[in-house]
Amino acid sequence: MSIELHKISKTFGKFPAVKQADLVVQTGELVALLGPSGSGKTTILRIIAGLEFPEAGAVSFEGVDVTGISAYKRRAGFVFQSYALFNHLTIFENIAFGLRVLPRAKRPPQNEISNKVESLLDAVQLSGLGKRLPVQLSGGQRQRVAFARALAIEPRVLLLDEPFGALDAKVRKELRRWLRAFHEKTHLTTLFVTHDQDEAFEVADRVVIIDRGTVQQAGTPDEVRNQPANAFVRDFLDLS
Amino acid sequence: MGRKAEGAGIAMAGPISMVTRHQAGRRATAESPPVKVVLIGVVLLFFGLFLAMPLVVVFHEAFKRGAAVFVSSFTDRYTMDAIRLTLIVAAIAVPLNTIFGLAAAWAITRFHFRGKTMLTSLIDLPLWVSPVIGGLIYVLLFGRQGWFGPWLQANDIRIIFAVPGIVLATTFVTFPYVARGLIPLMQAQGSAEEEAAATLGANGWQIFLRVTIPKIKWGLLYGIILCNARAMGEFGAVSVVSGHIRGKTNTMPLHIEILYNEYQFSAAFAVSSLLAILALVTLVLKSIAEWHATRQLEAGARAGEPQS
């Protein structure tokens, strides 16, 4: 399912976080939203998820306008930088959460929920840890739980906010490779925010570079590196 | 005993202050031994004189003329009426303030709006003003000469010198406790988990029941316990609006005063001992809730820490 942003603007108080931003993520693409901190990239991601509402512009999924639709109806999987796991629930229940809150008519029976959670635990290589609480896991493990939890709702698109930001270098590398491999398997439309250009270039099909709330350049890693669109991109990527 | 809840107002810093307290404890050995001895001595002396002794006296006086007299104090009709009224008033005021406290804490910690700082300080108002003023407000509003007095009289509705007035005055005085217990907790926890729940398809009500309530339950319980203790023990505000009609508008603290003024010391202290027991039970429950709230907060903080 594709994501399209059309002239999105959002201000916080007097600070313009996003200005007339246009962005397209094609169906099945893995796109990195790259920019310095405070550039508005997380705000854009939150607008796509429905956690913030833009003052102007439109968001659509596969051509269908979702601008005014609340987060809980968008079915956009979101992985937070701080994981935001439910600390009072076990790993199993964290992953099952999105299924348990479905309306009665759509809610799968208990054994289906169990099977699904177990297979997701398997997919993120955490089998056997379902009974633990989030505090009993390492940061890398928690991040994978957050992934599994977001995937459980069979999201239409996957949004990742600095997914590896809080992890050490070794775990970051592992998870990057895991994400790329996962994407090769599922081809779930994915947009992830990062300030780390190595991460963006290594993982993404396309990179969108953003600064001060506006898109500076969008293209494949090679295009962006070989033909930087302006001085900011050249400077930010440290090209000379 | 009607005054005892005043101290609870100071303890309101609540579950949050607990986190810093035992961290600060590590470097407390900097004082010289004599200073330490003097300080601890002063604290113990005050503790004994102002807290422990009155408590002992209450129970001593209550049982001075034997357990039979103590028990018989509670067979008195007016005493039973007073206990019943106190329970009824608390049963109305505490849920009201729980709902308000949740709503206020939610609004203050989750939204930005004009006048938020003002609202936050206004919630504390009942802690600053004398409870007598709390009672007088309602007399001025609903009393015979009050703003709504003539209308209420014309429609034969009694608020002042009746149970509704007592409920209003008690609600006013116990207004801040739940909100004050929750605001620091909810501020510290943030709303990331609620946002995560929303992206997973939970609607507002499901988020509240499945995510927010479990996160804040101990802080909420802490506030409710303090609110209840204050509601049952309130004297000043209730005294103004009650009219002291025996069997009708007399709460336990008011009843104790009447008994005392009538030289029924054993009965007065027997009822007092009930309030004292309530205070002790409150203290234990409060400590348990506080302990859990602190753990909950620390667990939350740990889970948010970057590590691998």
Residues of B in contact with A50 (CB under 8 A): 198-199
Residues of B in contact with A171 (CB under 8 A): 308
pLDDT of residue B143: 83
Residues near A21 by beta carbon (within 8 Å), at least 6 away in sequence: A5, A7, A8, A9, A40, A44, A57, A210, A213, A214, A215
pLDDT digit string, tens, across residues B184-237: 888 888 889 999 999 999 998 999 999 999 989 888 988 998 899 899 989 989
CB contact under 8 A, A51 and B215: no
The model's pTM is 0.77
Selecting from A78, A86, A139 the residue whose C-beta is nearest the C-beta of B306 gives A139
pLDDT of residue B144: 80
pLDDT digit string, tens, across residues A116-129: 999 999 988 899 99
CB B276 within 8 A of CB B59: yes
User: Cα(B108)–Cα(B119) distance, rounded to whole angstroms?
Assistant: 8
Task: Give the pLDDT mean for B260-274.
Answer: 87
pLDDT digit string, tens, across residues A80-91: 988 999 999 999
Neighbour-count burial of B29, counting CB atoms closer than 10 A to its CB (0-12 exposed, 13-18 middle, 19+ buried): exposed
Q: What percent of chain A has pLDDT over 70?
A: 100
Q: Is the pLDDT of residue A186 over 70?
A: yes
pLDDT of residue B300: 60
Task: Give the pLDDT mean for A159-172.
Answer: 85
pLDDT of residue A61: 93
Selecting from B193, B198, B308 the residue whose C-beta is nearest the C-beta of A86 gives B193
User: Both ends of chain B: CA-CA distance in Å?
Assistant: 54
Give the residue from A129, A93, A133 showing the smallest Cα distance to A113: A93
The torsion angle over the Cα atoms of residues B105, B107, B109 and B114, rounded to 10 degrees, is -130
CB B296 within 8 A of CB B284: no
Residues of A in contact with B201 (CB under 8 A): 72-73, 75, 98, 101-102, 153
Phi, psi of A208 (to 5 degrees): -115, 120
CA distances from A76 to A7, A33, A122, A226, B210 (A): 20, 17, 22, 33, 20
pLDDT digit string, tens, across residues B7-58: 343 344 444 444 444 455 455 566 778 888 999 999 999 998 888 888 888 8
pLDDT of residue B160: 84
Q: Is the pLDDT of residue A59 over 60?
A: yes
Inter-axis angle of helices B77-110 and B213-233, to 10 degrees?
Answer: 140
Q: What percent of chain B has pLDDT over 70?
A: 87
CB contact under 8 A, B192 and A84: yes
pLDDT band at B72 (very low <50, low <70, confident <90, very high): confident
Chain A: residue whose CA lies nearest to B306: A166
CA distances from A175 to A140, A143, A144, A147 (A): 8, 9, 9, 11
pLDDT of residue B32: 79
Q: Which has more confidence, B243 or A30?
A: A30
CB contact under 8 A, B192 and A50: no
User: Cα(B259)–Cα(B244) distance, rounded to whole angstroms?
Assistant: 12
User: Cα(B77)–Cα(B128) distance, rounded to whole angstroms?
Assistant: 36
Residues near A159 by beta carbon (within 8 Å), at least 6 away in sequence: A45, A48, A49, A76, A77, A78, A79, A190, A191, A192
